[in-house]
Amino acid sequence: MAKHIVVDPITRIEGHLRIEAVIDDNNTIVDAYSSSTMFRGIEEILRGRDPRDCGLLAMRICGVCTGTHYQRSIEAVEHAFGVTIPKNARIVRNLIQGALYIHDHVVHFYHLHALDWVDITKALEADPKKSVEEAFKWAKIAGTTPWVADAAKFAEIQERLKKFVKQGRLGLFAKGYWGNPHYRLTPEQNLLAVTHYLQALDLQRDAAKMMAIFGGKNPHPQSIVVGGVTCVQDIKNPARIALFKDLLMNFRRFIKQAYLPDIYMAGTMYAKEALDGTGAGLKSFLVYGDFRLDDTGFYNSKLLFPSGVVLNGDLSKVIEFDQEKVKEDVTHAWYKNGEALHPFEGRTEPEYTGFGKKENNIAYLDTQGKYSWIKSPLYDDNRVEVGPLARMVVGVAKKDERISEYVTRFLKNADLPVEVLFSTVGRTAARAIETELMADVMIDWTDELASNVAAGDLSTWTEFDFDQVSKDAQGYGLAEAPRGALGHWVKIRNGKVENYQAVVPSTWNAAPRDYKNRMGAYEASLIGTKVADPEQPLEILRTIHSFDPCIACAVHIVDTKGKELGEFKVNTSCAI
Amino acid sequence: MRYAIVGVGNILFKDEGIGIYAAKFLESNYSFSEGVEVIDGGTLGFKLMRYYQDYDRVLIIDTVSIKDEPGAVYNLPSEALLGLGSYRQTAHEVEVVEMLEICSFLEKMAQVSVIGMVPEDIESVEISLSDSVKERFDLLINEILKELKQEGVEIEKKGSKKIDEIINEYANPSSLSREGFR
């Protein structure tokens, strides 16, 4: 008989996400539902405001993607006003966003995702000398030398782990599904990965410092304004640019000597799951495109990550992206019904209908009706996935030289076919490939900024006449957050925001079913996955974490724990 | 000693902004002995890790989802946080505890504690505070000041900005956002 597995909340993510999966007698997932139990209300806050203020409020949507939302919101307004930013501003914005990428991706892999692949308890059994051999082996495959290859260091980390276990202070590690047969690394490999986990914890501070050099006040960057950037003093000072580059070089070394080798290791040890396509899901991908490489202006510039759509895993065809084809459907989301709308016309009118049946004290989602606070975005009536995998897939399908080079090299070194990209392992690998690419290209950008400033160009802001441009305007800021395609759409009338909608990466990926009952990306990715032990939904976490879920930005709170669900009422003061 | 006072929360959801307003209130009205920094942490996520690593002492100001009347103030040491399931109910609180767990593996990390207030309304999309919470805002501030004094931080009053003015600055950032150009 079919059994229900409820995972709520999915731990190690930024917020509240609930997954319900149905497994058959063979412990294979046959149905899955993704629900966000939190509501997001930024759209209501922004209506009627001065459009130049949107960025400062939009960045409060989420603490992790603060800068990304801030920048998108400002770009939406710039696009509406027809303001083109100077070269220095473009490069500085790329560097701030690039630093966010490498920081987020490294922290995501080691601190939010690695323990889905790494059994930390097995590291205790490792022979530290053999971990040295492992370190050399995987670094060699990655074409480099190991970040750490010292038996004494591995032994020291192992001692630290033992001490923690003895003291019963396993903290986070106390919650894992240790010993699950679907963990596939050897004790020595586990110790190697745990060592990198701890070193990444220290190193990620450098990436945070990089963001602060041009971003100004950390954690809420305030150096980006409509028309450009304000950090003139920082770019005028060669020592600041040099410091940025130093931090970048060191962090890049870790990416190449630890992160990539670990991904080769995981890719090899989990090759079976990669080859059989576990976690592939929709195999349809969307990229809005981002990181302008020249100054030809809005949506004309050549991009580091080109925009495009690939459907059903067909790499031979790329559909050109057209933002007019983005729509949001609310059939299964807790909003008032209506046809799917483009974000310019988008509405946010809550209609909470609660959960469905209750059995053994567990309330289940009403999957026939509405069951999530996330809307279901559609691209030209297709369900799609966004994120690093989408960017790599679309880049390869578009024959983008740089992306193809990095992806091809990775697959060749790992000795795996291109099809492995369509899997949970592939999604996790794509993020690492992208991280290396980003760290490399950021070196070029840093040099480009330094030489442009040295040549005497200190311009960072384009002047505009607010009263003139803000009478009746609309625009969009379309970009790629580390997690995937992020868009802010704004309509302005008489100097005030008339309508505002944000469609964020986790909206695309974590969305519920749509009006045709087609699954969202998370939901589809779980179908067919075999669970080793239904009491330990390790495989579900592994696949969902591979998307880097961020629900804090998709939504806000509705308590589903500890309260009688039937009593819950949404405060309707936010409804129009 | 490097001491960080970090206000966390989300100003977009009414009382969830308490921590942010309290931090701003402290920054505006008091000066502290050297080494003490007041930080607007927002809904920081894993970037909180950096504070845990960079400071000797981190005092988080936050909302707490404890079943009690709105406006009740709690002073929670880190041991309590790690065992406190009900603290994990809001978007940012998940992270306060998760990051604590991740960092507990480091050889050295800050001593972390939370002073928090029970909110009345964290669902309305409004940049404001409920009356019940605002009435007891002084209680929250006094608890923080008391904690700081006990730990030997010197405090000097330097201003008398009201909580309403602070909220207003966050609700209408126009003046601030345009300062950048000049």
If DSSP codes are grouped into helix, strand and coil, which group holds residue B84?
coil
Interhelix angle for A187-215 vs A260-269, to 10°? 140
In this structure, the number of other CB atoms found within 10 A of the CB of residue B84 comes to 17
In this structure, the number of other CB atoms found within 10 A of the CB of residue B33 comes to 13
Q: Which residues contact A14 (CB under 8 A, 6 or more apart)?
A: A62, A63, A64, A549, A550, A551, A552, A553, B45, B46, B91, B94, B95
Tell me the CATH number at B169.
3.40.50.1450
- Pick the closest to residue A421 from A402, A440, A434 (CA basis): A434
**A473 min Cα distance to partner chain B (Å):** 19
Residue B1 contacts A, CB cutoff 8 Å: no
Q: State the catalytic residue, choosing from A79, A108, A182, A550.
A: A550
pTM of the model: 0.88
Q: Where are the alpha helices (DSSP H) in A455-473?
A: 466-469
CA distances (Å), A75 to each of A54, A334, A463, in order? 10, 29, 15
Facing B47 at nearest CB: one of A11, A63, A552: A63
How many interface pairs between A and B have CB atoms less than 8 angstroms apart? 150
Q: What is the pLDDT of residue A308?
A: 98
Q: A223, B125: Cβ pair inside 8 Å? A: no
Mean pLDDT confidence for B11-36: 93
Q: Is A574 a catalytic residue?
A: no
Residue of chain B nearest A569, judged by CA positions: B123
Reading the block at residue A260, the tokens are 């990539």
Residue B72 contacts A, CB cutoff 8 Å: no
Mean pLDDT confidence for B24-36: 96
Q: A556, B91: Cβ pair inside 8 Å? A: yes
Distance separating alpha carbons of residues A279 and B15, to the nearest angstrom: 39
Q: What is the pLDDT of residue A563?
A: 27
Mean pLDDT confidence for B60-89: 73
Q: State the catalytic residue, choosing from A54, A62, A73, A252.
A: A62
Number of domains in chain B: 1
User: CB of A14 within 8 A of CB of B90?
Assistant: no
Residues facing residue A32 across a β-bridge: A21
Mean pLDDT of chain B, nearest integer? 83
CA angle B31, B13, A466 (to 5 degrees): 80
If DSSP codes are grouped into helix, strand and coil, which group holds residue A61?
helix
Q: Is A43 a catalytic residue?
A: no
Q: State the catalytic residue, choosing from A391, A483, A513, A545.
A: A483
If you count them, how many residues does chain A have? 576
Distance separating alpha carbons of residues A470 and A473, to the nearest angstrom: 6
Contacts of A552 in chain B (CB under 8 A): 43, 45, 91-92
Q: B91, A55: Cβ pair inside 8 Å? A: no
A117-126 pLDDT tens trace? 999 889 999 9
Mean pLDDT confidence for B99-126: 83
Q: Is A483 a catalytic residue?
A: yes
Q: B105, A57: Cβ pair inside 8 Å? A: no
Q: What is the pLDDT of residue A219?
A: 57
Q: Is A550 a catalytic residue?
A: yes
User: CB of A282 within 8 A of CB of A509?
Assistant: no
Cα dihedral sign for A435, A437, A443, A444? negative
Q: Which residues contact A335 (CB under 8 A, 6 or more apart)?
A: A347, A348, A349, A350, A351, A370, A375
Q: B173, A12: Cβ pair inside 8 Å? A: no
CA distances (Å), A47 to each of A57, A177, B61, B89, B125, in order? 11, 46, 29, 28, 12
Q: Which domain covers residue B152, as residue numbers? A: 3-179
In this structure, the number of other CB atoms found within 10 A of the CB of residue A498 comes to 16
- Pick the closest to residue A5 from A509, A319, A346, A364 (CA basis): A364
Name which residue leads in pLDDT, B101 or A46.
A46
Residue whose tokens read 């203020």: A53
User: CB of A513 within 8 A of CB of A376?
Assistant: yes
Q: What is the pLDDT of residue A4?
A: 67
Q: A201, B49: Cβ pair inside 8 Å? A: yes
pLDDT (tens, 9 = 90+) of chain A, 576 residues, equals 566 666 654 433 344 678 888 888 888 999 999 987 666 667 778 888 888 888 878 877 765 666 788 888 889 999 999 999 999 999 999 999 999 999 999 999 998 889 899 998 899 999 999 999 999 999 999 999 999 999 999 999 999 888 877 766 555 556 678 889 999 999 999 999 999 999 998 898 898 889 888 887 655 667 888 899 988 888 889 999 999 999 999 999 999 999 999 999 999 999 999 999 999 999 999 999 999 999 988 788 999 999 999 999 999 999 999 999 999 999 999 999 999 999 999 888 888 888 888 777 777 889 999 999 889 999 999 999 999 999 999 999 999 999 999 999 999 999 999 999 999 999 999 999 999 999 999 999 999 999 999 999 999 999 988 888 888 999 999 999 999 999 999 999 999 999 988 888 888 999 999 999 999 999 999 999 998 988 788 898 899 989 988 654 332 222 223 222 222 212 222 222
- Pick the closest to residue B26 from B112, B143, B127 (CA basis): B143
